[in-house]
Amino acid sequence: MADSSSFSHTLVLVANRDATSLTPVDIQTARDLVRGGAPVTLSEGEAVEIGCTAPATWMQPDIGAVRDVFAGRGMDVLVTPRDNRRKRLLVADMDSTIVSCETLDDIAAHAGIGEKIADITRRSMNGEIEFESALRERVALLRGLPVSLLERAWQDVKLNTGAVELVRTMRANGARTALVSGGFTFFTSRVAALCGFDENHANTLLDADGMLTGTVGQPILGPDAKLAHLRRLVAAGGLDMDDAMATGDGANDLAMLRVAGAGIAFHAKPAVRREITSQVNHTTLRTLLFAQGYRADEFVTA
């Protein structure tokens, strides 16, 4: 069988290390499904890459058919063109992507109105209601609450596994990194500092005399603004869109995921998974580095 370097695409198979480990049988199965080349280990027992032709040429109908074979084993499958794998720009969503929570929902939970706001968040992130109006509706419910609730909510914020490695490894290899969120600058500024993002952009919660006013600064950073930031950063860096990686989980991320050279849905809502082919459903943000051909011993953690 041909060497991996002779193929136009690369399949990356990644295992959830908390649940399972890649076996020789798993690797051979993936290789057979795509009629691929010799596997290359990216992380022992966790990730391999296999050279292959474009998905349209496989015997299987599409990448979804291959993904389904491994879904029950807690594994993710991504296929990328072999050329230009290492991206020079990362634009990432924050809530439920770089961090494990929805920060607005956490503020509401500390105020005792968590489920009321969380239900609106769920519908908005799945594209059932328009983002900007949903944000205004949720923020209005915070009117009269103390600003100190934001600090309490911050204590609940946890970075998702691989967040620091993703950002710092890409930066160490010359990429520009931006955290672009429909959440709030109170949180993005802190998360950006923890991970090492070059810049961060989000909405602003307005307050007066130590109390939230129930309003958000204008203009609202929604789907169109996320796409605009992606395009701005591509242009500013003298890049092509193919040089960019974008990742997110909600319907407000779709605009940027559709156009980025590598648009990856991360543990995404059903509406997003239906549209975006490249998906991480079982593993961590480390997979976004494996998708670019980084080996685990190349990851930067500090």
Check which CATH number belongs to the domain holding 58 and give it.
3.30.70
297 labelled catalytic: no
d(CA 128, CA 243): 31
Same domain membership, residue 96 and residue 48: no
Per-residue confidence (pLDDT) for residue 1, from 0 to 100 = 43
3 labelled catalytic: no
Is 92 part of a structural domain of the chain? yes
Model confidence pLDDT, tens digit, residues 22-41: 999 999 999 999 889 999 99
pLDDT class for 3, splitting at 50, 70, 90?
low
In the set 76, 93, 243, 253, the catalytic residue is 93
pLDDT class for 60, splitting at 50, 70, 90?
low
145-to-106, 114, 151 alpha-carbon distances in Å? 13, 13, 13
Same domain membership, residue 71 and residue 97: no
Same domain membership, residue 179 and residue 277: yes
Q: Domain total for the chain? A: 2
Is 173 part of a structural domain of the chain? yes
Contact residues for 291 (Cβ-Cβ < 8 A; gap 6+):
12, 78, 80, 85, 262, 264, 278
Per-residue confidence (pLDDT) for residue 82, from 0 to 100 = 94
In the set 3, 26, 62, 95, the catalytic residue is 95
Per-residue confidence (pLDDT) for residue 71, from 0 to 100 = 85
Half-sphere exposure of 86 (CA within 13 A, CB side): 11
Structural domain span for residue 25: 1-82
Is 288 part of a structural domain of the chain? yes
Q: What is the DSSP string of 206-254?
A: EEETTEEEEEE-SS---HHHHHHHHHHHHHHTT--GGGEEEEESSGGGH
Per-residue confidence (pLDDT) for residue 178, from 0 to 100 = 98
d(CA 132, CA 129): 9
- For 100-172, list the strands marked E by DSSP: none
Q: What distance lies between CA 162 and its chain's CA centroid?
A: 11
Any bridge partners for residue 178, and if so which? 91, 199
